[in-house]
Amino acid sequence: MVRTAVAGASGYAGGELLRLLLGHPGVEIGAVTAASNAGRPVAGVQPHLGPLAGRVFEETTPQVLAGHDVVFLALPHGQSAAVAAELGEGVLVVDCGADFRLKDAGEWERFYGSVHAGTWPYGLPELPGGREALRGARRIAVPGCYPTAVSLALFPAYGAGLAEPEAVVVAASGTSGAGKAAKPHLLGSEVMGSASAYGVGGTHRHTPEIAQNLSAVAGRPVKVSFTPVLVPMPRGILATCSAPALPGVTADALRSAYEKAYADEPFIQLLPPGQQPSTGAVTGSNAVHVQVALDEAAGRIVVVSAIDNLAKGTAGGAVQSMNIALGLPEELGLPVTGVAP
Amino acid sequence: MVRTAVAGASGYAGGELLRLLLGHPGVEIGAVTAASNAGRPVAGVQPHLGPLAGRVFEETTPQVLAGHDVVFLALPHGQSAAVAAELGEGVLVVDCGADFRLKDAGEWERFYGSVHAGTWPYGLPELPGGREALRGARRIAVPGCYPTAVSLALFPAYGAGLAEPEAVVVAASGTSGAGKAAKPHLLGSEVMGSASAYGVGGTHRHTPEIAQNLSAVAGRPVKVSFTPVLVPMPRGILATCSAPALPGVTADALRSAYEKAYADEPFIQLLPPGQQPSTGAVTGSNAVHVQVALDEAAGRIVVVSAIDNLAKGTAGGAVQSMNIALGLPEELGLPVTGVAP
Amino acid sequence: MVRTAVAGASGYAGGELLRLLLGHPGVEIGAVTAASNAGRPVAGVQPHLGPLAGRVFEETTPQVLAGHDVVFLALPHGQSAAVAAELGEGVLVVDCGADFRLKDAGEWERFYGSVHAGTWPYGLPELPGGREALRGARRIAVPGCYPTAVSLALFPAYGAGLAEPEAVVVAASGTSGAGKAAKPHLLGSEVMGSASAYGVGGTHRHTPEIAQNLSAVAGRPVKVSFTPVLVPMPRGILATCSAPALPGVTADALRSAYEKAYADEPFIQLLPPGQQPSTGAVTGSNAVHVQVALDEAAGRIVVVSAIDNLAKGTAGGAVQSMNIALGLPEELGLPVTGVAP
Amino acid sequence: MVRTAVAGASGYAGGELLRLLLGHPGVEIGAVTAASNAGRPVAGVQPHLGPLAGRVFEETTPQVLAGHDVVFLALPHGQSAAVAAELGEGVLVVDCGADFRLKDAGEWERFYGSVHAGTWPYGLPELPGGREALRGARRIAVPGCYPTAVSLALFPAYGAGLAEPEAVVVAASGTSGAGKAAKPHLLGSEVMGSASAYGVGGTHRHTPEIAQNLSAVAGRPVKVSFTPVLVPMPRGILATCSAPALPGVTADALRSAYEKAYADEPFIQLLPPGQQPSTGAVTGSNAVHVQVALDEAAGRIVVVSAIDNLAKGTAGGAVQSMNIALGLPEELGLPVTGVAP
């Protein structure tokens, strides 16, 4: 049994990690820590985690986190490096925060306004070379939820050299992506019945991460226009991604590229022609649903992907990466059926 | 491996049965049948069931349903008897419809307007004597979703003789309880942002089933005023149940009765004092969350319970009953963690 | 032109007051004040109030509130008395808070834990004698949202002597009733897809107000079991109210009593038989939709009412009361069409 | 008093027309007609229209529609020409359907698969020359909801020559845009908690209409990639629109162009810098909220607009156009305050 700990377990990412770990046959759950919620019963903060109802959140200290094979970090940005430094090199540290995702220190500083902590192996195994980078890793940076949805939607187009390096992405997201801290604009009264964009004009912090992933696949810099849209649902990301098609690209060639790229992927499902992804179908699962189209009049490749932002977009991606790092079956403990309707 | 079939698999109850059976380690899924959807790919109708994406719904015929150990029926009312008659007596038939729930033929005829088909062992193991009735059974009537939520909320009060036989129940329900047939009043545009009652004045068909359960526990007829309320969420029932307290009942005695009644129940969780159930915490799970209070000024016992109407309220209850009937561990394949937020 | 001010205008009640006053042909809007939002542009806090986009919230001081004919108070409980004391006796003060609703100082202290401020004319004109009490009044206590929905649903039954003095009420409410202060359990992620009860067991502060109203109509103490349920919608209350029918009450007599009680009411609509109220149909309006039924098997009268908690339940009721107090046409500026779907 | 009729009054567009006309001080409502709902009480189909509760839908015939000054058509595509032909040339016919929106018969046939009925003056007065085309008109084609949101967002950029003629639009829409016909994928159970795209790859019928509007402003063909996304809310469109910025465009120049273009527009509000539009803020109103940004890294102009699809996007635009055509004040009867939260 792999012994795991979750630091930052009272938030949404932490709660989803615990939900998935509870259903994972190869792990046991050790320390469950929090910051301001330390000392509170898990039952009061995460009432959906029935089997942990008797537990109490501990403080996030090196002592509490010691003695585990895997430590998941679901902490605010900027806190992961210090915690990881106290854990031995043999411990697998899986960071759901942003600290170690970017390779370019300048981009980090531009978007996060602090000193770059470094770069860890990137937990998106479906990207070219992604699995290899994770095997045996002891430090993993879990991708952001939007970069997961967008990178998986567009890498086949860039990998097959079908698209111009200018992507436009508008992604509708459920509210859990904004976290559990109580802010007025996230109140149910505000979000129900209303859609709104944020980070408009390329200011969202996931923008450089998306560009980093697509550029690596394309082999040249890909410019990304990214707009996230908050919509009234608790979970899910629906990413509408497009890029100018290179001359001569046909609908058949496009679909073939996607079929080939996803052929052996256990979690990505290219939907049958005519069927569009919906976030509802992947809720609670690690599945990624994708559909692709060529808009000949506009000259653009349009790819729509749906994920659960908390599952494949965060905690599911984290567990999948852990499985690979530890040499466990990649799909272990990760549901591919959504909870719908 | 227990070989299972699901008849009526294109609806919500059928889809949830398949979702749970896909995660059940002791079963395999054989025939998956439908009526008007026969011939269509499962992927198009139930896109959340990734592992069945390559399947096609078959017709609901005796030939197709033959050769299974367990056949789940998720059919419109009135169709189960004919299908069951074609299946051997050794086959376990688990009926998610209403046909065999009521004992009183007169009540059946009054509420359903047709001839009573009979009465099968009742799939609510938590009721007194409930498990015994299911062990070895080969025909099981799965309770209605509302009767599940209400009966589990009130049986301890009646079992311990604490309440007058006059219950008042108002239960908020998600829309999936109304099924997948497209009706104007169930459109998203109509239900979002709106709550409405139906079956007002005791006309909902679950009313006699609730009364039957509570009367059996109380040992005398319990009158039930039941009002279901449709609220804007896909899943979940929150039942607010009350009854006049008998003289001398104290809050402590009340809580003790509930602690005792639920002590060994794997799926029912009496929440800590001060914490109220929410349907979100049980979404996708077989869990039942309950809280109990004594309103001294009004002289009433008030019990609130939360279930997932499709899981514990239908498909989860069906699988739980199957487990008991076949001698499998009762909890096998049934999640107790909810998908929240 | 009547010159009005709104104190506490940055919250939901204040915003709704401003929305209605903007559409009221007989008033002009003077001071618009706030507490922590003082100094902020209205556009940033209440972006739906386009015509006030150029305004800035002022501080809630006697100087700012001076010089108006009508001052609406939408303040936290306990603050109204001090503000009102600074306003002249000729100024109409309409308090949307709870401070002056209850007549019984003991009940106030029991439920609010502070000294009783007093009792003002009660702004529910539809109750027997209600209009008379408001004509010429210069201090008005606007009822709570739940008491409005419940009192209007049940007063005809008690007024006609048809029901036992033991009411059971379960009311589903949208989240705006809980206000705009950011609390974790009111986050969109928490409330969407989830229903939960609160104030269970008779502890909600609107309980004594409901009992006060019904007892006055019945001419004897009416016990009230009241449970509010938070459901995923921004606005609306659907109150399911029942009470034991007195012997001999018939469905016809019941309906007649309601037709008679509502005959001249401009805002209350007794729906045709067979049609149930929905909160969606009254959104944004001052309308009250009601349906009534006799459940003979359970021996209970069941009345369902729908209101918009912010409109008729707060700001609409306030404006309606102002109209009466000032001798304006009662319906002036108050929409009776809902914004649906 | 202008005497108006609404044909197709039982649907969402028809209901919204009636809601606005009920609040319009210059009109009276004559015939209210429907197809399959003819003969049914308005109260049962449009319960939010209290003042029309006593009415019954009539059949849509020339006789019934005769004798009105204005006839609004809210009919399925393809039916407007025949109805309009029966009405005199002096009658103002305002068509909320698509039949007369497109100028290019070839585009019509490509997207609608039928013979082009013709082209009427286009009911989007904010476009350059838009008001002039409507003054005195007796036939008006009301724009589609998406073209309204997108054209108003992008015309200033094209009008000022700031953008390349390649627009990319992703627009989140509430479900009422899909109409009131009961289809399984529009059930509340399906849409709540889920987002999905449709018409992907440029197949949505509003695409050529958007291109027509933008091309007219730009003075050269504008290619449009348009993807609509269905999100869980009843009303509202949030359009995220972008186009490559021409060389040398600055953020200041961009904002100036928008300030200038909207300076005299009563319904369009360019939000203060830093504030993003939300559909909730315009619900029920004829307001258009817009924000604009220059994404320098991606080299794109990004404009986000929010409208109520049923109000400004359909019925509000229709009434606004009527006002202009008849010489009434343009803003008469059209709320600019949204119903929020």
pLDDT tens for residues A5-38? 999 999 999 999 999 999 999 999 999 999 999 9
Q: What is each CA distance from A226 to A13, A100, A150, B90, D43, in whole angstroms?
A: 23, 21, 10, 60, 46
The CA distance from C199 to the nearest CA of chain D, in Å, is 23
Contact check, Cβ <8 Å, C50/D15: no
Contact partners for chain C, using 3 or more CB pairs closer than 8 A, are A, B, D
pLDDT of B305: 98
| Active-site annotation of A, residues | 145
Which chain A residues are within 8 Å of D258, Cβ to Cβ? none
**Contact (Cβ atoms closer than 8 angstroms) between residue D223 and residue A298:** yes
Residue ranges with strand state E in chain A: 2-7, 27-34, 58-59, 70-73, 92-95, 139-141, 166-173, 196-197, 223-230, 237-244, 268-270, 288-295, 300-307
Contact partners for chain A, using 3 or more CB pairs closer than 8 A, are B, C, D
**Contact (Cβ atoms closer than 8 angstroms) between residue C32 and residue C5:** yes
C232/A contact by beta carbon, under 8 A:
yes
Which chain C residues are within 8 Å of D51, Cβ to Cβ? 336-337
pTM > 0.90: yes or no:
yes
Contact check, Cβ <8 Å, B298/C225: yes
C253/D contact by beta carbon, under 8 A:
no
pLDDT of D338: 98
Mean per-residue pLDDT of chain C: 97
The CA distance from D45 to the nearest CA of chain A, in Å, is 22
Q: Which of D201, D202, D280 sits opposite A190 (nearest CB)?
A: D280
C294/B contact by beta carbon, under 8 A:
yes
Query: Which residues of chain C fall below pLDDT 70?
Result: none
A200/C contact by beta carbon, under 8 A:
no
CA A15 – CA A161 distance, rounded (Å): 39
pLDDT of D110: 96
C280/A contact by beta carbon, under 8 A:
no
C215/B contact by beta carbon, under 8 A:
no
pLDDT class of A85 with cuts at 50, 70, 90: very high
Q: Residues C91, C117, C145, C254: which is the catalytic one?
A: C145
pLDDT of B158: 98
Contact check, Cβ <8 Å, A272/B41: yes
Which chain D residues are within 8 Å of C43, Cβ to Cβ? 271-272, 275
Q: Which of D175, D182, D189 sits opposite B184 (nearest CB)?
A: D182
CB-side exposure of A304: number of CA atoms within 13 Å?
29
pLDDT class of A4 with cuts at 50, 70, 90: very high
Which chain A residues are within 8 Å of C184, Cβ to Cβ? 180, 182
Q: Which of A195, A306, A341 sits opposite D172 (nearest CB)?
A: A195
Q: Which of A23, A283, A287 sits opposite B335 (nearest CB)?
A: A23
CA D255 – CA D257 distance, rounded (Å): 5
- Express as a percent the part of chain A with pLDDT over 70: 100
Chain B residue closest to D12 (CA)?
A: B189
CB-based contacts of D25: which residues, under 8 Å, 6+ apart? D332, D333
Q: Report ipTM for this prediction.
A: 0.97
Which chain C residues are within 8 Å of A186, Cβ to Cβ? 182, 187-189
CA A63 – CA A50 distance, rounded (Å): 26
pLDDT of D197: 98
Tens of pLDDT along chain D (341 residues) come to: 999 999 999 999 999 999 999 999 999 999 999 999 999 999 999 999 999 999 999 999 999 999 999 999 999 999 999 999 999 999 999 999 999 999 999 999 999 999 999 999 999 999 999 999 999 999 999 999 999 999 999 999 999 999 999 999 999 999 999 999 999 999 999 999 999 999 999 999 999 999 999 999 999 999 999 999 999 999 999 999 999 999 999 999 999 999 999 999 999 999 999 999 999 999 999 999 999 999 999 999 999 999 999 999 999 999 999 999 999 999 999 999 999 99
Contact check, Cβ <8 Å, A337/B282: no
Contact check, Cβ <8 Å, B272/A43: yes
pLDDT tens for residues B235-279? 999 999 999 999 999 999 999 999 999 999 999 999 999 999 999
Contact partners for chain B, using 3 or more CB pairs closer than 8 A, are A, C, D
pLDDT of B6: 98
pLDDT of C79: 94
